[in-house]
């Protein structure tokens, strides 16, 4: 079965690149999600006034990649204990979030967040990842799409 989910873990360039490498991921798009401004620009999102996070919309085949495996990988590729930042990038647009489309996805997200809290990655910190229903989201500008691939990384 084909599913979709939106994940935010800092700047979408790296997150999109890493997620797109997983077997079972069919498509990814850099998007703005979780905010209140319709059709935001990158500059608006960076102003930290739209409520949007830089995120990645993922379409995947859950017969080849389970949501549990996808979310485990997501928690391993970013620091989910950093509140409204990732490394040097600061602001709510860089927050850690899972935007789910179904109740089943919400349940799995809550379960993996709880399990990851006990791992070596997060044992001594607190995971601050938001788990929220997916609402309207907006595709980021073309120059953000598959940025690393375009740059030869």
48 vs 61: which has the higher pLDDT: 61
When pLDDT is cut at 50, 70 and 90, the band that residue 21 belongs to is very high
Looking at domain 2-151, which of 3.30.2080.10, 3.30.1060.10, 3.40.50.970, 1.10.10.10 is its CATH number?
Answer: 3.30.1060.10
Average pLDDT over residues 37-53: 96
CA angle 14, 46, 81 (to 5 degrees): 55
**96-122 b/e (C-beta count within 10 Å ≥ 16 → b):** bbbbbeeeebeebbeebbeebbeeeeb
Give the pLDDT confidence of 109-148 residue by residue, as tens digits. Answer: 999 999 999 988 788 899 999 999 999 999 999 999 988 8
Which residues are catalytically annotated? 11
Give the pLDDT confidence of 82-92 residue by residue, as tens digits. Answer: 999 998 899 99
What integer pLDDT is reported at residue 122 of this predicted model? 86
Would you list the domain boundaries of the chain?
Answer: 2-151
């Amino acid at each position: 079965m084909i599913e979709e989910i939106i994940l935010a873990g800092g700047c979408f360039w790296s997150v999109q690149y890493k997620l797109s490498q997983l077997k079972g991921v069919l498509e990814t798009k850099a998007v703005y999600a979780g905010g209140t401004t319709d059709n935001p620009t990158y500059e608006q999102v960076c102003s930290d006034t739209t409520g949007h996070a830089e995120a990645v919309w993922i379409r995947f085949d859950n017969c080849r990649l389970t949501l549990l495996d996808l979310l485990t990988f997501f928690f391993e590729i970013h620091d989910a204990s950093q509140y409204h930042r990732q490394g040097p990038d600061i602001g709510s647009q860089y927050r850690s979030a899972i935007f789910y489309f179904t109740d089943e996805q919400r349940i799995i997200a809550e379960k993996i967040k709880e399990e990851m809290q006990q791992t070596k990655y997060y044992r001594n910190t607190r995971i601050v990842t938001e788990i929220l229903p997916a609402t309207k989201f907006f595709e980021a500008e073309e120059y953000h799409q598959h940025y690393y691939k375009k740059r030869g990384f």
